[in-house]
Amino acid sequence: MATGGRKLVSSPPVFSEDGGKLLVCTGNTVSVYSASTGMLVTELEGHTALVTSVVMVPMGHPAMRFSSFCWTSSLDGTICYWDFSLPELIRRVEVRLPIYCMMILQEKPSDHCAFISVEDISKPNNHKKALCGQIKMYNLSKSKFVGGLLAETRKPEVMTVSKSGEYIGIKNKRKLHIWKVPVKDFSYNEIKKIKLHHTKSLSTLAFHPSERLVAGGDVTGRILLWKGFGRRKFSDTGHKFSKYMSEDDEERPGVRGDDDAELSSTWHWHPAEVKLLSFSSDGAYLYSGGKEGVLVLWQIDTGKKKFLPRIGSPLLYFTHSPDPTLACISCADNQLQIVNMSSMKIVKSISGIKLPFSFPRVYGELFTGFAFDHAAGFVALRTEAFCVQLFSLFYDAEISQVQVCERNYQPVDDITVVLSLLTLSLDGSNMGTVEVKLPEEGIGGLVCLKFWTRGSRAGDYSLSTVVYEPHSDAGISALAFHPHKSMAVSSSFGGDFKIWVSKSGEQKYQKFQKSGWRCQSVGSYRKRPMTAAAFSADGTVLAVAAESVVTLWDPDTNVLVTVIGETFMPIVNLVFTGDSNYLVTASRGLKPQLAVWDMKRLSLCWSYKLYTEAVACSENGTHFAVLALLPTSINGSTLQDQDGLILLFDAGLPNPAATWLVRKAKGGGLAFLDCDPTLDDGKVTEGTASQLLAFINNEHEYIVFDPFTNKAHRIRKVGQDSRVYDEKAGSYGYTTVYGELPRFNPREEAAPMISSIPSDRPWETIFTGPSHALAPLTKLCSTFLASLLERRPNKNELAALNSGGDL
């Protein structure tokens, strides 16, 4: 079993103290990535709900010589202490309230205090005026709350802490709440609080690293700077006026009402909500970002701006590294960008699976948004930037992105083009896409069919053929590839279907070779809209749904063979079983139906009244899986978490062989994938299933499992830069990839040599790869040094050689 598709940007990531690792909240776990290579190193598994915060052990702790300890908080109501270098869970603290954010305050190594933003689960969260969010203090050493409530809000808010830990703030509608915490001699009773007001709702805030300056961003794109905040309430006895205070204490430009600040100024560049604010480590610059996908650098003293444009997605978080030249930007498309701040260039990207996005629905939108490469274990899905992302379900990693629409994507632009269909051939060698240009005021709509050919590398597709308006002005309802030939079929709502063949090799002996796809034949049935199409597993039969009936064709001659069925509603999905003996159809609407047809008898075998979201058939045999949506209630009880059902059928039997309840099923997908035994942590034995079932939900979270057994075999998730361990051989890293290094013993007698022979050049390969995945240096050095030496014959050996004797 393998799970993945988790968000990398649900919370801000954190760099390790040495800057070499990046700790990222990914669902119920914390993923540790290498900051230099961007590859997964290890995972911290122990929480049972979403992880919301990662806090490194503060500077000054004796354990900091290891630079590998951190605290994590979660919605499961626990706080965990980890050594992420092992990785090992050292301690668990039960708070028993969902924790949305956590900040650690440490005075002594034996006394840890945390500011936590929690949800009061005793209050009804559906009430508009209920104050469910609370800011509290918790003593981690004694496992108890300290003092009372610091603040109550409508919902749990994210906290921001200053670099020194002296100030903590939250946004609450049009106000900033700021607390001053006595860091040196901590006492709960000495915590002081002020509020700063604004005319618009605030979206984020940041503290200056050394001065009493706070910045806040609002929903209109403005940035406000409050200088000298807390000058009355936070100032100690004998405190001197800051450089921002004017000679006339009553003059406070820009400050609203009785707010405790010396002056306030406003900057405005962003056209939409400001989501990101952060000061540079030296305090000379302020970084800001938002929906437009541009990082803006503001010079604090002058207000001048510099830009890092075209990041490609709205910006969410900015994370500093201990290395002042590096920083991490979290983007809304589930991507982390490592940026060199001196050159203002992106040097490394960590990409998760692309997240779902909203777009206009065209032609009823029968396509769920997923296509699968069954042999390689890839899923192809559309992205907001007019691309197709190829993502490995076994490795939980991006393989590539293919730009399918020639558009310069800007997050703030209106959507004018929609990728309505996407499909892959059985072996993944071809890809087909359908894009629809939306009409403007009813004028200018365009449908475009494109065929793509895979190159030498996995996920590397190049455009082969473009067909404009392949079915006149009608929309395309389905696109499918032949299982063994370079052939495809497209069906349209206009009442026809077309069979396409590849022209590769047709002009093989001509001087100028051409490749591409052309239309071989056109078919229709009583001018009915063609709503679905599929080839049989052996490729000898083409099934095309003409609304509520299924027409069977010979794809080579385009001759109608027969017509079967009559469903209540138009058919939206057609799938042949692996042996081609059965055909599975799915209909939606007021009378949804899942039907199985016997292809030998050309009659209905059995059917159910099910609203089917997706159907997948195994490559061999008669098994198929169905993703069905459950009604809103069963026997009067409402289903809150699990709204879908996966049913495994043998096509000849109406009773399901197995069932699984799933979450977020609407808009999900199913596929059978070829099993790779090398990824199974358990021992591969006879009878192991040759195919696994993959389910991906509407938030692009997925699970891959064996549907034919109740045993849970965990599939090992291996990153290109992660430690690889072979339980059977007891080896890891270099040994697993390249094999055992030759053992060198200088005491052993060297092999006879006739002349000087150049040694091999293992140093060209033995040091490739990340340092943590290589064999120990004690093992590498002996081989490396030995490879640099050349053994020459001595005088006796030369004499024996010259005399013709044996050495």
Sequential DSSP letters for 469-511? STTTTPPEEEEEE-SSSSEEEEEETTS-EEEEEE-TTTTTTSS
Q: Is residue 400 part of a domain?
A: yes
Q: Is residue 245 part of a domain?
A: no
Q: Is residue 395 part of a domain?
A: yes
Contacts 24+ apart (CB under 8 A), 450-457: 450/404, 451/488, 451/500, 451/502, 451/516, 451/517, 452/402, 452/404, 453/429, 453/515, 454/428, 454/429, 454/430, 457/400
Q: For 677, which DSSP code?
A: G
Q: How many domains does the chain have?
A: 1
Closest of 501, 587, 492 to residue 539, by C-alpha: 501
Q: Is residue 606 part of a domain?
A: no
Range of the domain at 451: 361-461
Cα 423-428-433 angle, rounded to 5 deg:
25
- The predicted model scores a pTM of 0.82
Q: Is residue 419 part of a domain?
A: yes
pLDDT recorded at residue 656: 95
Both tokens assigned to 348: 């490394």
Q: Is residue 542 part of a domain?
A: no
Cβ contact 146:199 at 8 Å: no
Please state, in angstroms and rounded to a whole number, the distance separating the CA atoms of residues 598 and 730.
51
pLDDT recorded at residue 189: 86
Q: Is residue 417 part of a domain?
A: yes
> From the CB of residue 228, how many other CB atoms can be counted at a distance below 10 Å?
24
Cβ contact 578:618 at 8 Å: yes
Cβ contact 507:471 at 8 Å: no
DSSP result, 587-636: E-SSS-EEEEEETTTTEEEEEE---EEEEEE-SSSSEEEEEEEPPSEETT
> From the CB of residue 81, how many other CB atoms can be counted at a distance below 10 Å?
17
Cα 519-523-528 angle, rounded to 5 deg:
130
Residues 6 or more apart whose CB falls under 8 angstroms from that of 5 comprise 352, 353, 396, 696, 699, 700, 701, 702
pLDDT recorded at residue 728: 37
Judge residue 477's burial from the number of C-beta atoms within 10 Å of its C-beta, 0-12 exposed, 13-18 middle, 19 or more buried. Answer: buried
What is the number of residues in the chain? Answer: 807
Q: Is residue 171 part of a domain?
A: no
Cα Dmax for the chain: 109
Query: Please, what are the averages of pLDDT over each run of 10 residues along the chain (807 residues)?
Result: 91 93 96 93 95 84 65 96 93 95 72 89 76 92 90 94 93 95 83 94 96 96 95 66 48 86 94 96 95 94 92 94 94 95 92 89 68 94 92 93 84 82 94 91 85 91 95 92 95 95 60 72 95 94 96 96 91 92 93 94 94 92 93 49 89 94 92 76 51 94 91 55 37 44 46 37 49 55 68 67 56
H or E stretch at 797: helix 795-803
Q: Among positive and negative, which fits the CA dihedral 293, 297, 303, 304?
A: negative
